Amino acid sequence: MVVIVAGYPGTMEPRPTPPRYKEIGWTISMAQLTAVSGMAAIAYTNREPVADLHALLEHVHTHAAVLRVDASRLGILAVSGNVPTALTTIVRTVDQPPACAAFGCGCLLDLDGATDVAEASRQFGFSNPCAGLTVGDFRHDVPLFISRAGRDQFPAMNASIDRFVAKALVENLPITLVNHAEGPHGFELFDDSRTSRDIVRQTLRFLRQHLTPEADQTL
């Protein structure tokens, strides 16, 4: 099962403007691709990004039998400004971490005195709950997949990814990095190239590797 994280404050109104994150084309397409890759996907409506994400995860763990899912095989997928909220699922203090997490073209952490993520949060309105944390505050037992757009138009993305990856290697975190050298931000939407499609496949393959029984996996 893959939870597609919403990191912007939402609304419970019947007809919000803009559409709920779970209803936009990217979320629907990724949920469909997840399903055809042999996994279930959860997209949800939120009001408070962090509280609602963790309430959702608690609900899945508590009602796993009714939902007919294996809560130990739960993964996180987040992109862009949704990534800071997703990071809260892999901090050391979390009792029930995901089996893996995949982050695409996202803001990660402000490290070494940087303020890129904080400034982007203020500009674009996404939640930044991990401000002040370091890479050492995250678990070492959750495999991470990070995709990077070499020509990302938003400086906070690659600045934070590059610092995070460097520190993660020092900490020996289980991390996989894929760089789309010519890709813009959101390349899976805006760059119809073989490289973009390959990275989407790699993301799904990573999730499938960690979330499905080995007997169900194909090369």
Ordered by where they begin, the domains of the chain are 2-214 (3.40.50.1820)
Q: How far apart are CA 103 and CA 78, in angstroms?
A: 5
Give me the pLDDT at residue 63, please. 94
Report whether pLDDT(96) > 80.
Answer: yes
pLDDT digits (tens, 9 = 90+) for 28-64: 999 999 999 999 999 999 999 999 999 999 999 999 9
Q: Are 141 and 99 in contact (CB under 8 A)?
A: no
Give the pLDDT of residue 10.
75
- The Cβ of residue 104 has, within 10 Å, a number of other Cβ atoms equal to 26
- Which band of pLDDT confidence, cut at 50, 70 and 90, is reported for residue 20? confident
Give 116-155 pLDDT, tens digit per residue: 999 999 999 999 999 999 999 999 999 999 999 999 999 9
Across the range 182-202, mean pLDDT stands at 96
CA pair distance 83, 102, nearest whole angstrom: 9
- DSSP string covering 46-87: -SSHHHHHHHHHHHHHHTHHHHT--TTS-EEEEEGGGHHHHH
Query: Residue 8 in 3-state DSSP?
Result: coil
Question: In the prediction, which pLDDT does 105 show?
Answer: 96
CB-based contacts of 58-61 (< 8 A; 24+ apart in sequence): 58/96, 60/1, 60/3, 61/96
The SS3 of residue 7 is coil
218 pLDDT higher than 70: no
What's the whole-model pTM score? Answer: 0.93
Q: How many Å apart are CA 33 and CA 14, to the nearest integer?
A: 27
pLDDT band at 217 (very low <50, low <70, confident <90, very high): low
